[in-house]
Structure 1
Amino acid sequence: MGDRMDVEATNVSHRQNQEDFQNIPAAVLNTQAAQQPGFRDIPVKVHIRRPDKDTWSYLGRGVASHEVSGQASRVVIRSASTNKVWTTFGEGSEVQAEKRGNFVVIGCVDGNRVVSWSLNALNNNDTLRLLAMVELACYKSRTLTTDPRLHTKIRRRIERVIREDRRKRHKRRKDQDAMVDAFAKHSLSEPPREASMEES
């Protein structure tokens, strides 16, 4: 009888632990995972595309670090050789991050300008961890809970500015390709200078 009561008490305790675990917000679980040793620092190759530029510039090898302070966290990208801070992403950052292969591409909105960062991790696991770090650090939880409409408005504005920046870049590239094609056709249609001089 006593054994049955012990087993039932154990089962109730186990179920209660499962329910408690399921009720923990995902952001809290991610924060706890991010604080585990070895999770915070991820080696990356860093490229930047500055506003009104269509090409990427290679900055070098860096380290992406997840720094937690109380309820807030941020992702800091530093040079692996000099430890110089290249950029920081936090709750105040207006960013959109997406995974492309082993790259995490982060579009940072500053007014109507967009600075893009490309972080190339070593493998798919590091890429997923890096994406989770950025999303967790930049997740505006306070705005979402206090003013959901403002949160949605901010997200839509970020998406709109990044979409417009992408449209402009594609248009510039298309115009450049058209100019190159036109120049090539013009050059082919022109008679060689030496031949025209001989004829005259």
Structure 2
Amino acid sequence: MGEGMQVDPEIQTVVPHMQAQPENQNVPISIPTMHVASRDIPVKVHIRRPERDAWSYLGRAIVNHEVTGHSARVVVRSATSGKIMTIFAEGSDLQAEKRGNFVVVGCVDGSRVVSWSLNALNNSDTLRLLASIELACYKSRQAINDPRHHTKVRRRIEKVIKEDRRKRHRRRKDQEAMIDAFSKQTIAAEPMDDVPDDL
């Protein structure tokens, strides 16, 4: 072994029989289940709750992609308190999409949708964030064991999110129409207020 190559003592303790094997021999080694966490991604977090049209700012957070054995999850923790804001995992019914430096995650719970907006610092972090969520939440076992059911679930999630978006747009249009009608009424009533006192 060359001078420049160092052996991590922690790895030696995890797999002690590695040293006894000749270098040129390919022997499968059983590695114990390990917990791996990726680099933290700082984000600003907004939430839009069911039946609400406006986003609420929750604060700054740290997003972490954690892998334990064969399962993974994306954890969003408050940057100040360290408390978990939300977790995205394989059991989550969600749809994630990139919008600029934002990743918008629509989580479906029955017919209700909770939307999370995670604003990363740059495009690179945004792409990493989107990939982490999609990897952690991909129902791989379901896709392999029952592909038809997997497709059905994906379509249902898309349908619920689309319906929620349609309702929000309709509510916004109705509000704008009411504001427009009210402003026209006010303009029509204004000349009545300008009647001179001497009449």
Query: Normalization by structure 1: what TM-score?
Result: 0.78
Deviation for aligned residue 1:67: 1.1
Give the helix-richer structure, 1 or 2: 1
Whichever residue aligns with residue 117 of structure 1, its letter is W
Deviation at 1:198, TM superposition (A): 3.6
- 1:199 Cα deviation after fit: 7.0
Contact between 1:90 and 1:138, CA under 8 Å: does it hold in 2? yes
Unaligned 5+ residue runs, structure 1?
A: 1-34
| Aligned pairs, number | 164
| Structure 1 residue 111 displacement after superposition | 0.5
Matching residue of 1:138: 137
Matched, 1:85 2:80: no
CA distance in 2, matches of 1:84, 1:187: 49
Q: Deviations over 1:73-93 (max 9, x none)?
A: 000101000001110000000
Counterpart position of 2:159: 160
Residue 175 of structure 1 is matched in structure 2 by 174
Task: State the AA in 1 paired with 2:46.
Answer: H
CA positional deviation for 1:193: 5.7
CA shift digits 1:152-198 (9 cap, x unpaired): 00000000000000000000000000000000000000145654584
Shift of 1:69: 1.0
Deviations along 1:93-140, one digit per CA (max 9) or x if unpaired, are 000000011110000000100000000111111001000100001000
Alignment of 1:38-117 (within 5 A): 39-117=38-116
Percent identity of the aligned residues? Answer: 66
Cα 1:153–1:199 shift into 2, 3 Å = farther
- What is the CA–CA distance in structure 2 between the aligned matches of 1:115 and 1:194, rounded to whole Å? 47
Match of 1:52, as an amino acid?
E
Cα RMSD, aligned residues only: 1.5
- Aligned-partner residue type, residue 163 of structure 1: K
Structure 2 CA distance for aligned equivalents of residues 122 and 199 of structure 1: 65
Question: Once superposed, which parts of structure 1, at least 4 consecutive aligned residues long, lie more than 4 Å away?
Answer: none
Name the counterpart of 2:126.
127
| Cα distance in 1 for residues equivalent to 2:79 and 2:124 | 20
The one-letter amino acid paired with 2:80 is: S
Aligned to 2:29: none
Tell me if 1:184 matches 2:189.
no
Deviation (angstroms), 1:58: 0.5
Q: TM-score, normalised by structure 2?
A: 0.79
Alignment gaps of 5+ in structure 2: 1-35
Equivalent position of 1:3 in the other structure: none
Residue in 1 that maps onto 2:22: none
